[in-house]
Amino acid sequence: MALRRDRTPTEERQGTAPAVELRAVRRRYGRGEGAVEALRGVDLALPGGSFTAVMGPSGSGKSTFLQCAAGLDRPSSGEVLLGGEAITGLSEDRLTKLRRSRVGFVFQSFNLLPSLTVQQNVLLPQRLAGERQDRHRAQQLLAEVGLDRHGRRRPGQLSGGQQQRVAIARALITRPEVVFADEPTGALDTRSAHEVLGLLRRAVDALGATVVMVTHDPVAAAHADRVLFLADGLLAGELTRPDPQAVADRMVALTAAADRRPAPAPAPTPTATV
C-alpha cells in the first residue's frame, strides 16, 4: 500500500517558487546593551522537494532560524516566505492556521498525546485545522513508516524510535509544503536514528516533501542534500552532497572559531501555538 508522490500546494500555486525563503531576516531579543541579535541578516532560498540540514555551534542561531522559518517566531526585520507567500505580517490567527495546514513539525521529544491512539495522533493536525480526518491516508502513512499494525496502540506502548516514526507520519498527514525537524534523532539510539533519517530521506525522494532539519550530528546531516552552517547569526557556508567527515571537519572549525569569541546570551524560546 504505497503512497503516491504528493503534489504540494507550492507546486500547484507557484510551480518554481522556493518552498522556504528568508530575505534579510534579523531577530533581536531585548534592548540596549543586553540585546542579543540571534540572526543578523540571513538570505536564503530552499527549493521544494529538497532535504536541508542546518548546523552550527551553540549560540549560532540555528534554533532561531528554524523558529522564524517555520512561523513560530517573528523576525525583528526582513521577510519570510512560504511557497512564495509572505508570512511575516500575518495575524497570529492566520499564522496558526497556516502552520496547521501547510507546515509539518517533528520534535526531539516526539510531542505525541498519550491519551490518543497512534492513528488519532497522526490525524491530530487535520483535526486541529478543521479538515476532514483522512483515516485512509493515516493508515497509508503508518504503513509507510512500518507501523500499520500499531494504529490502535497508545504512544506509551511504543519504543522511542517507533514514537518518532509516528511523529513523522503525523507531520506528513496534511501534505505540508515543508516539514521542519528539530533534532529529530537527539533522543534516539543509533539504530532508531538511522531508521528515522531514512524515513525523512524517503519522504523527500518518494513523496516530494521538503524537509528542513536542525541537527548537531554530522551523520544525520549527511542524509541531507545540502548542509547550511550558521555562526554568530550569519550563514557561514554550506556543503552539497555532504559526507559525515566533511560535515564534522567543518563543525570543528566553526566551533573552534566560536570558542575564541565571547558567547552570546541564549535567545528566549517563543511560545507560539503550533
Q: Is 22 within the bounds of a domain?
A: yes
Domain range for 45 is: 16-259
Whether 182 is covered by a domain: the verdict is yes
- Asked if 139 and 119 count as a contact pair (C-beta separation under 8 A), the reply is yes
Has residue 3 got a pLDDT over 90?
Answer: no
Would the pLDDT of 261 be above 80? no
Is 5 part of a structural domain of the chain? no
Structure-model confidence comparison of residues 33 and 45, the more confident one: 45
d(CA 271, CA 273): 7
What per-residue confidence (pLDDT) applies to 258? 81
First-to-final CA distance of the chain: 30
Is 221 or 34 the better-scoring residue by pLDDT? 221
The CATH number given to whatever domain includes residue 59 is 3.40.50.300
User: By 3-state DSSP, what share of the chain in percent is helix, strand and coil, each rounded to 5?
Assistant: 35, 20, 40
Does 43 reside within a domain? yes
**The pLDDT of residue 192 is above 70:** yes
Residue 133 belongs to some domain of the structure: yes
Contacts by residues 248-252 (CB-CB < 8 Å, ≥ 24 positions apart): 248/218, 250/55, 251/55, 251/57, 251/218
What is the domain count for the chain? 1
Phi, psi of 265 (to 5 degrees): -65, 145
Spatial distance between the Cα atoms of 125 and 144, rounded to a whole number of angstroms: 18
What per-residue confidence (pLDDT) applies to 272? 59
Residue 136 within a domain: yes
pLDDT digits (tens, 9 = 90+) for 133-143: 999 999 999 99
Q: What pLDDT does residue 146 have? A: 95
Say if residue 72's pLDDT is above 70. yes
Residue 82 has pLDDT above 90, yes or no: yes
DSSP string, 142-194: HHHTT-TT-TTS-GGGS-HHHHHHHHHHHHHTT--SEEEEESTTTTS-HHHHH
Banded model confidence at residue 7, pLDDT cuts 50, 70, 90? low
* pLDDT value of position 10: 43
Average pLDDT over residues 242-262: 90
List pLDDT tens digits, range 203-242.
999 989 999 999 999 999 999 999 999 999 999 999 999 9
- Residue 114 confidence (pLDDT) above 70: yes
| Cα dihedral 28/21/50/202 (nearest 10) | 60
**pTM of the prediction?**
0.88
271 part of a folded domain: no
Give yes or no for residue 8 having a pLDDT over 60.
Answer: no
Q: Report yes or no on 3 lying in a domain.
A: no
Q: Does residue 268 carry a pLDDT above 80?
A: no
- Say which residue the cell 528568508 belongs to: 22
For residue 130, the SS3 value is coil
Q: Are 190 and 112 in contact (CB under 8 A)?
A: no
Query: Who has greater pLDDT, 260 or 8?
Result: 260
Instruction: State the pLDDT at residue 267.
Output: 59
Do 27 and 64 touch, CB atoms closer than 8 A? Answer: yes
Quick one: pLDDT at residue 11?
46
| pLDDT, the chain, mean | 91
Give the sheet arrangement for strand 103-107, strand by strand.
103-107, 178-182, 211-214, 51-55, 226-231, 234-240
